[in-house]
Structure 1
Amino acid sequence: MNIEQPTYSFDGLPLEAVDAGTNILVTGPALGGIRELTLRMLLRRHSREGALFLAADVDGRQTLTDYEALGGDLDFARVGVVDCTEESVDNAECNVHAVGSPGDLTGAGIEFSALYERIHANGAGHVRTGVYTLSPFLVCAPAKSVFRFVHTLTGRIRTADGLGVCAIDPGAVDDQTLTSIAQAFDGQVELREVDGERAVRVRGLADQPDGWQPVAFETA
């Protein structure tokens, strides 16, 4: 009997659904809409999906506020944040778990694993994990350590049939670092902005639109 495998869809974006266990690297300028794109790719489509954020640029509470403004459902049994910013503060009510610094990769990994398991145990059969962005980790920790962290993170997501969406600004890292990071992912979604018009292009993922596709973000 042919059993259909679960997929993750992206309503409102020019992207086709991807298989469970897929990890996507989202690249684009920090001020060009990459945050909005990343958060939209993490929007839960039904109650049995969960969402987990590793926040490094913007604190955990603000991440949840931005997510909700874009249409995210904040069911805190199935939605949570590992806050890796310097301003991180635990917030049990909002399921925010503070690490204290993007340089504490061990702490981030421990909190990620514990929160992922908790969200899954609370009924989220499939979890969307987002990292915004990878750049602070690379600033605060050795590159090789970040590479290992990313490979471990994407490996866990792949094994658990989750979805990983990690953002990075290519202008903030050198080409060699970007190439090394990209090896941990199944494909990339590139975002560009030309004359105020935004578009995305998918690389490395099957059954996706060819070339640049226009994308518009609603103003929250």
Structure 2
Amino acid sequence: MSQVKTRYGFEGVPLDPVPAGTNLLVTGPSLGGLRQLSLGLLSGPADEGILLVTADVSASEVVTDFEAVGGDADPGRMCLVDCAHESDGTESDRVHGIATPADLTGIGMSLSALYEQLYDDGLQRVRVGVYTLGPLLVYADDVRPVYRFLHTVAGRVRAADGLGVCAVDPAAHDERTIRSVAQAFDGTVELREGDAGHQLRVRGLSGQPDGWVDVTL
């Protein structure tokens, strides 16, 4: 397999393609483009699957947001774990509902089952996302169970040559928590919003643009 085919690209985002198996932590203001950037990184070609844990908004809302950033939410390639709200009627074999973000075991089991389903459907390249980590951290007694959950998810992504993208607003948590969470990832994509618009920079990954670069969200 060629090197190009083993990498994941990001159309419309000023990042170079990353190797298969890469896990990214996206940090930034939740009301300042974090959702748009995270979902944009998860958007990919039609021959890639999408597996998304939504902890802040319902499954139906995140599908709308995903399509708004140009993503293809074809149910044949997209599966969701909804732990944000009580049932909104969207549960199916492609959408698993979890009663609370505190149920990390249940979320992990649904992720594994849906990952296998996408793989069985012939989608061997899968982008896996969590938006956002905030509720998981709030409901947990401390950061350790969330780190273990993320470490397990990242390991699954790495073993399956997938792409992991998880988002968090660092302003909502203490610095120690963010540092602990970041250890589960290969690199961090930082987002900021200023008078000139949105900018991002990458930490921990080689072959990426240096410093802050403009990004349109």
TM over 0.5: yes
8 Å contact from structure 1 (residues 76, 94) kept in 2: no
After TM superposition, give the deviation of residue 3 of structure 1 in Å: 4.7
Structure 1 residues 160 and 61, CA gap change in structure 2 (3 angstroms): same
2-side partners of 1:37 and 1:96: how far apart? 23
- Residue 205 of structure 1 corresponds to 205
Residues 1:122 and 2:121 are matched in the alignment: yes
Instruction: Look up the SS of the partner of 1:15 in the other structure.
Output: coil
Instruction: Look up the SS of the partner of 1:153 in the other structure.
Output: helix
- Residue 84 of structure 1 corresponds to 83
8 Å contact from structure 2 (residues 6, 20) kept in 1: yes
2-side partners of 1:92 and 1:168: how far apart? 25
2-side partners of 1:113 and 1:180: how far apart? 24
Letter paired with 2:136: F
Residues 1:195 and 2:195 are matched in the alignment: yes
- Residue 12 of structure 2 corresponds to 12
After TM superposition, give the deviation of residue 93 of structure 1 in Å: 5.5
Structure 1 residues 94 and 193, CA gap change in structure 2 (3 angstroms): farther
The answer to which of 179-188 and 137-146 deviates more is: 137-146
| 1:85-100 matches, cutoff 5 A | 85-89=84-88, 91-92=90-91, 95-100=94-99
Q: Write out per-residue CA displacement over residues 58-110 of structure 1, whole angstroms, 9 at most, x where no aligned residue.
A: 11111111111221112212201100113344635682110011001111000
Letter paired with 1:83: D
Q: Which segments of structure 1 move beyond 6 Å, counting only runs of 4 or more?
A: none
Instruction: Look up the SS of the partner of 2:152 in the other structure.
Output: helix
8 Å contact from structure 2 (residues 57, 85) kept in 1: no
After TM superposition, give the deviation of residue 134 of structure 1 in Å: 0.3
* Aligned residues: CA RMSD: 1.5
When normalised by structure 1's length, the TM-score is 0.93
Gap regions ≥5 residues in structure 2: none
2-side partners of 1:88 and 1:200: how far apart? 35
- Residue 66 of structure 1 corresponds to 65
2-side partners of 1:3 and 1:214: how far apart? 30
The answer to which of 170-179 and 88-97 deviates more is: 88-97
8 Å contact from structure 2 (residues 10, 44) kept in 1: no
8 Å contact from structure 1 (residues 60, 88) kept in 2: no
8 Å contact from structure 1 (residues 151, 184) kept in 2: yes
The answer to which of 60-69 and 102-111 deviates more is: 60-69
Structure 1 residues 92 and 85, CA gap change in structure 2 (3 angstroms): closer
| 1:165-180 matches, cutoff 5 A | 165-180=165-180
Q: Write out per-residue CA displacement over residues 27-80 of structure 1, whole angstroms, 9 at most, x where no aligned residue.
A: 0011110000000001122x3200011000011111111111221112212201
1-side partners of 2:192 and 2:87: how far apart? 30
1-side partners of 2:39 and 2:53: how far apart? 12
- Residue 32 of structure 2 corresponds to 32
- Residue 44 of structure 1 corresponds to 44
Instruction: Look up the SS of the partner of 1:108 in the other structure.
Output: helix
Matched pairs, number: 215
- Residue 215 of structure 1 corresponds to 215
8 Å contact from structure 1 (residues 61, 94) kept in 2: no
